Amino acid sequence: MSRDRIELRFQAAHASQRAVLLPYFTSGFPDGRTVADLIRASDALGATVVEIGVPYSDSIADGPVIQESFNYALDQGHKVKDAFDLIARVRPAVECGLVMMLSYSIVHRIGLDRFMRDAAAAGADGVILPDAPIEEANDARAAAASANLCHIGLVAPSSSPARRAEIARGSTGFVYQIAAPGTTGERTSLPPTLTADVANLRRHTTLPICVGFGISTAAQVGEVCQVADGAILGSALIRRIADALRQRKSSNEIVTVAGAFLRNLLAGGQQPVAD
C-alpha cells in the first residue's frame, strides 16, 4: 500500500478539515521501544505522517538538537537495520504514513535498489534524502518508484525557480518546503516569504505541500496551516524528549511529555487546511 497510504491520509485530513501534523523522531533515540511508543502515540493523536530520522554522524541539514540525538543513538550502537526493525515493529499497529529521512550517503553505501526494497519490506511508505546530489536524484526517484515508495523532495527558499519546479514535479506523496534557510532548529518566527514560497510551489504540483525547519509553537502550526497542507515538527519535539531524558524520566513519561506537546500543537492548527 506504501505510496497510496500517504495519499489517502492526506485526503482524509483534508476531507475532515483538520490540520496535518507530521512529527519527526530519531530512530534509536532514546531507544527503540520508546520511539515505537512515540510513533504509536502520534498515530493515535491523528498524525498523518511520521518522519523517522536515521542517525548519521556527519549530517549537513540538521541543527544541534537533532544532531545530538543522532550522536546519542549512534553511541548506543544504532544501525540502519534498527531503523528498519522499528518500522516493521510499528507498521501493523499504526495507520499513519511512515517516511524515512536520511543521508544519501547511507543509501548509496547500501545501494539504491537494495535500500528501497528493504525500506518497503519493513513497511515504510516513503523516503526523504535531504543531501542527494542533483545528478543522483533521477536514479533515487526511479528506485523509490520501483519499490512503490514515495520520493519526497525538499525545496529550499534559496532554490532557483527552475530547480523548485523540477523538485516539485519529481516528488511523490508530498513536497517538503523548507521554511527558512539554514539547518533544522526552533525559531521564534516564520519568514515573511513563506506564503509566496508555498504559492509558487502550487503552480508546479497538485501534491500536498508541508512546511518544516523551525516550527515550534501552536501559533506557528496555525500560521503554516493557513497556507500549506501540513506542518512538520522536528527539533522542538526532539528537544523535549532530550530534556525528559536528562531529567531521568521513564519511557512512559517521555511519551506522555511528547504527546502533551503534540496535542497542544494540533490544537493550534485546528482550522481548515489550505485549499
CA distance 84 to 101: 12
Rg, the chain, Cα only: 17
Which region, left, alpha or beta, applies to residue 17 given φ > 0 means left and ψ of -120 to 50 means alpha? Answer: left
Query: What residue type is assigned to position 211 of the chain?
Result: V
Based on the residue annotation, tell me whether 125 is a catalytic residue of this protein.
no
The angle that helices 251-268 and 218-227 make with each other, rounded to 10 degrees, is 50
Catalytic residue from among 4, 7, 43, 62: 62
Catalytic residue from among 37, 43, 51, 118: 51
Query: What residue type is assigned to position 267 of the chain?
Result: A
Buried b (16+ CB within 10 A) or exposed e, 215-229: bbbbebbbbbbbbbb
Closest Cα partner for 173 from 206, 199, 203?
A: 206
Q: How many residues does the chain have?
A: 275
Based on the residue annotation, tell me whether 51 is a catalytic residue of this protein.
yes
CA distance 63 to 99: 20
Q: Which residues contact 123 (CB under 8 A, 6 or more apart)?
A: 87, 88, 90, 91, 92, 98
Annotated catalytic residues are 51, 62
